[in-house]
Structure 1
Amino acid sequence: MADAKKPRMEKRGLMERLNAGEIVIGDGGYVFALEKRGYVKAGPWTPEAAVEFPDAVRQLAREFLRAGSDVMQAFTFYGSDDKLENRGNVSQEKHTGAVVNSAACQIAKEVADEGNALVAGGVSQTPNYLSGSGKEAVQEQFRKQAEVFIKNDVDFLIAEYFEHVEEAVWAVEELKKTGKPVAATLCIGPEGDLHGVSAGDCAVQLAKAGADVVGLNCHFGPVKTLEAIRLMKAAMDKEGLKPFLMTQPLGFKTPDVGKQGFIDLPEFPFGLEPRILTRWDCHKYAREAYEIGVRYIGACCGMEPYHVRAIAEELSPERGCTPAGSQKHGMWGDGLRQHTKPWVRARARRDYWENLKPASGRPDCPVLAKPDGWGVTQGDKDLLQKTEATTDAELQELFQK
C-alpha cells in the first residue's frame, strides 16, 4: 500500500487533473452532517452556519480533507437570496446572501490550502424557479452567487441539486460566463427529471449547454445513481458528447423510492438512520462508479467522512496513495487483529465485511417503505415562494392531503 500521506504537489486545476486521467474525490454531505451536530436547521437547509458557526463548518471540511477529499466545496448549498428569505427564514435579517457565500468560500479556501485541494462554489435550485418567476429572475440569483465566487477566486463552479434540467441549463449558462470550469449535477434518478425529461436527454442538454462535467447528486443512493449515470453516459456517447462524469449519491439505501427520491420517504429527514450505508457499501459504490467511467466520485447527504475515506481507500491502487485518515484505520477490518476478544479478531478479514448483511435491530420495521408520491413539482401552488412563515392553518391544510 502506498504511503498514507498524500504527497504535496503543485496545485493543478480540476480539468488538468481530469484530463490527465486522475480520479477526483469530492467531499460529503454538509447539510445533514451539520444538522445532526446542531448547526443547521432541517427544513430550510440553508448555510448560515458559515457565518454563525464557522468553526463547525471548518472542522467538518478538515475531516473530509483528512478522509481523502480532493475538493472542498464551499458551504453555499441553497445559498441564493430567495432561498435564504423563504418561508420565514430570518437569515437575511442577519446576514446577506453575499456575506454567507463569501464566508463559506473563505473557510473552504483555508482548509483546501492545508491539503492541496480544490475549492468549488456551488449554486442549486431556487424558489424563484419553483414559483415560475422566469429565466431572468432565476439567473439573477445564480449571477449574484457567481459574483461572490469569482471575487473569492474559487477553482471551479458546480450547479448541483436540480430537479428540472431546464433550471440546471440556466445555471450552466450563467456560470459559464465566468470562464471557470463548470460541473452540473441533477438530483434525479433513472426515471429522469420532474418535468418528464429522460435521464439521457437531461445529460445531453447539460453537455450542450457547456458543462465540463455532468452527473448526479443527492436524492438517490448509489445503486439508483449509478443506474442513472449509465443512461446519461449512453445518451451522451450516442451524441458524441464527452464531458467528464460525476456522481455524489446519498449515504442511504433507497431501493423503494419514487421519481422524487428520498424526500418522498416517510422517514425523511429524521428517521433515515436504518438506511445508512456501511463503509463497505461505499467501497462497492466507488469501484462500480470507476468501472462505468466516472472520474469525479464524491458523496452527498448522509455521507460522513468515514464514507469518503472508504471511497479513497477503494481507489487507492489507481490513485497511488491512501488518505491521512487511513493512519487510524485498518483496511477491511485489519485493525481488529489487535482486539482483546477472539471472536472480534476473527472479523479481521475482507470476506467477512463484504458478505455481512447488517441487521437493523428493529423487528417491527418493514424492509421497504411506501413513498408519499404527491407528484407536486414546478408550477404547483404549494411551491409558490413566500417570505412569510408557513401558518398553522396552512399546515392543517397539508395534513389533510
Structure 2
Amino acid sequence: MPTSGSIKGLVERLEDGETVIVAEGYLFELQRRGYLKAGAYVPEVVLEHPDLVKNLYREFVHAGSDVVLAFTYYAHREKLRLIGREDDLEKLNKTALRMAREVADETGTLMAGNICNTNLYLKDDPDSISTVQSMFKEQIEWAVEGGADYIVGETFGSLGEAMLALQSIKEHGKGLPAVITLATHLYEIEGECATNDNVSMSDACKQLQDSGAAVVGVNCTRGPKTMIPVAQCIKNKCTIPVAALPVAYRTTDKEPSFQSLTDPQTGKRVFPINLDCTQCCQDDMIEFGHQCKDLGLQYVGICCGNSSSLTRSLAESLGRQPPASRYSPDMSKHYAYGTHPSLKKFNTEKLVKHL
C-alpha cells in the first residue's frame, strides 16, 4: 500500500523544504555487471535475475536514496516488442513494482513508479499519440496497483511527449504526484538548451508546472558540470521543486552530453560501452551536491553510471549519514598514509616517498 499515514510523502517532504535523494541508473549498473544488454537496454534482468534487482534497490537505499524507483524504465510495450518478449510485459512491470514496494516497506522509503521516453512519439500524428498514450496508461495503472507513492516520467526529449506523460499520470494515476524530467540533447534556442520540439528547457518545465506536475527538471544525458547551468535556468523560471539527476560522467562544454564524450587518449567516441574512462569520481558528486544545495534544488540524484559509492557521496554532501557512511573512506589507519596514534609504522617515511 502507498505510504500515506505511515511515512511522509513526496509532496509533504518538498513542502517542508526537504531535499529528496533518488538513486537511478539501474540500466547501466546492471549492464556493467553483465546482466543487461547494451543497445535495446530492455530490463529483462527483472525476470531472469530478480534477486539482483531487489538487492540493487537495497544497495541504493543503503547508500542514501530516499526513494526506491521501480526498474520499469524501458519496460514498455515497444521495447519488449523489439526483443520479441511483449508477452512478458505485464509480468516484468509487476515484478519490478512488487520488489520495489517490498524494499520500500522494509526500509521506510518511498516507492516510485516509472514511465519514460517511448521513441514512438511524433508530433501531430494521431496514431503515434494514441499508441504512446496507451503505453503510458498500462504502465501507470500497474504502478498504481503496485502501491507506488508517486510516478516518475523521465528522459523525454520533447515537451510534447513529456506533456502526454503528465496528462496520462493525471488521468490514470489516481491522484499520485507526477515528477516529470526532460533530457537535454544538443538543441538550443537563443543560447539556452531546448527540447527537440523547439521549446527552451525552462519554458518547457514552466508549462509542465502549469499543467500540474509536482516536480519538474532534467535527468540523464548530461553530467553534473553541464547539467547545473540547465537546472539554474529552470529554477529561475519555475516556482515548484526542480529536479537534477545527471549521468555520472564528466561531460564538458565541448562535449556536453555523454553520447558525445570521447576518450581523452584515443579521441574515439566512448558511448555506450567505453564510458568508464570518463566516469565521475566521488569528489565530483560531492561538488554536485553542494551546487544543488546552493541552488535550492530539492529533487536530486544520479542517473546512468550511478553506483552506491557515488550515491553515498551525494547524500553525505547534503548532510546525510546513510547506513553506508559507516564504510566511508578513513585513511587515518592506512598502513602507509595513516595518522592514527595507535598505528605502528616501520620505515613509513621512506616507503611513502616511493609510493
TM-score by length of 2: 0.86
Structure 2 letter corresponding to 1:339: H
Paired residues for 1:46-57 under 5 Å: 46-57=42-53
The secondary structure found in structure 2 opposite 1:134 is helix
Q: Report if the CA contact (8 A) 1:76-1:121 is conserved.
A: yes
Q: Does 1:138 align with 2:132?
A: yes
What is the distance in 1 between the residues matched to 2:158 and 2:107? 35
How far 1:257 sits from its partner (Å)? Answer: 5.6
Question: Quick one: which amino acid aligns to residue 218 of structure 1?
Answer: C
- Residue 92 of structure 2, aligned match among 86, 100, 106: 100
Does 1:276 pair with 2:279? yes
Q: Does residue 150 of structure 2 align to residue 148 of structure 1?
A: no
Q: What is the deviation of 1:305?
A: 0.8
> What is the one-letter code of the residue matched to 1:253?
R
Residue 169 of structure 1 pairs with residue 163 of structure 2 = yes
1:312-364 Cα distance to aligned partner (Å, 9 max, x none): 11112xxxx4000011114xxxx11111113x669xxxxxxxxxxxxxxxxxx
Is the contact made by 1:72 and 1:112 (CA closer than 8 Å) also made in structure 2?
Answer: yes
Alpha-carbon shift at residue 28 of structure 1 (Å): 2.8
1:58 aligns with 2:61: no
Distance apart, 1:196 and its partner CA = 2.2
Q: Is the 8 A contact 2:63 2:312 kept in 1?
A: yes
Aligned to 1:18, what secondary structure does the other structure show? helix
Q: 1:262 aligns to what SS in structure 2?
A: coil
Amino acid at match of 2:206: V
Give the Cα separation in 2 of the matches to 1:257 and 1:77: 29
Give 1:210's aligned amino acid. Answer: G
Per-residue displacement from partner, 1:196-242 (whole Å, max 9, x unpaired)?
A: 21111111121122111001110000121111011112223xxxxx2
How many correspondences in the alignment? 319
Structure 1 Cα separation of the partners of residues 260 and 180 of structure 2:
23
1:128 aligns to what SS in structure 2? coil
Contact 2:153 2:165 in 1 (8 A): yes
1:63 CA displacement:
0.8
Identify the structure with bigger relative contact order (alpha carbons < 8 Å, sequence gap 6+). 1
Deviation at 1:194, TM superposition (A): 1.7
Deviation string, structure 1 residues 241-269 (Cα, Å, up to 9, x no partner): x221111100001115667x322442101
What's 1:369 paired with?
A: none
Change (3 A) 1:257 1:10: farther
1:337 corresponds in structure 2 to: 332
TM-aligned CA deviation for residue 284 of structure 1: 0.6
Residue identity matched to 1:325: A
User: What is aligned with 1:202?
Assistant: 204
Matches of 1:147 and 1:310, distance apart in 2 = 35
- Give the distance between the partners of 1:245 and 1:290, measured in 2 at CA: 12
My pick for the range that moved more, 110-119 or 130-139, is 130-139
Contact 2:63–2:323 at 8 Å: present in 1 too? yes
Match of 1:82 among 44, 63, 78: 78
- 1:185–1:65 distance in 2 versus 1, CA, 3 Å: same
Structure 2 runs not aligned, ≥5 long? 186-191, 262-268, 341-355
Give me the whole-angstrom Cα distance separating, in 1, the residues matched to 2:29 and 2:77.
Answer: 23
- Percent identity over paired residues: 34
Deviation of 1:114 (Å): 2.1
| Partner SS, residue 113 of structure 1 | helix
2:119 equivalent to 1:127: yes
Cα deviation digits, residues 150-207 of structure 1 (max 9, x gap): 1112000011011111100110011012210000001116521122211111111211
* Deviation readout 1:81-134 (Å, 9 max, x if unpaired): 012212xx12225x1x22111111111111112211100011111132159543
Matched, 1:25 2:4: no
1:212-223 alignment to 2 at 5 Å?
212-223=214-225
2:213 — aligned with what? 211
When the two chains are superposed, the root-mean-square deviation of aligned CA atoms in Å is 1.9
**Aligned twin of 1:391:** none
**Structure 1 position 69, deviation (Å):** 0.4
Letter of the 2:102 partner, please give it: E
* Other structure's SS at 2:244 match: strand
In structure 2, distance between residues paired with 1:17 and 1:250: 25
Task: Specify the code of the residue in structure 2 equivalent to 1:140.
Answer: S
Asked if 1:14 is matched to 2:17, the reply is no
Does the 8 A contact of 2:20 with 2:299 survive in 1?
Answer: yes
Cα distance in 2, alignment partners of residues 256 and 201 from structure 1: 22
Q: Give the 4+ runs in structure 1 shifted more than 3 A.
A: 130-133, 256-259
Equivalent residue, structure 2, for 1:356: none
Partner of 1:326: 325
Mapped to 1, the partners of 2:304 and 2:43 lie a distance apart of 14
More moved, 41-50 vs 188-197: 188-197
Alpha-carbon separation, structure 2, partners of 1:257 and 1:246: 24
Helix, strand or coil for the counterpart of 1:158? Answer: strand
| Structure 2 SS opposite 1:185 | strand
Q: Which residue of 1 aligns with 2:347?
A: none
- 1:22-56 Cα deviation digits (max 9, x unpaired): 11110131000000111111101122211111011
Taking the aligned partners of 1:22 and 1:159, their CA distance within structure 2 comes to 21
Structure 1 residue runs of 5 or longer lacking an equivalent are: 1-8, 237-241, 347-401
1:118 corresponds to which residue? Answer: 110
CA contact (8 A) 1:28 1:308 kept: no
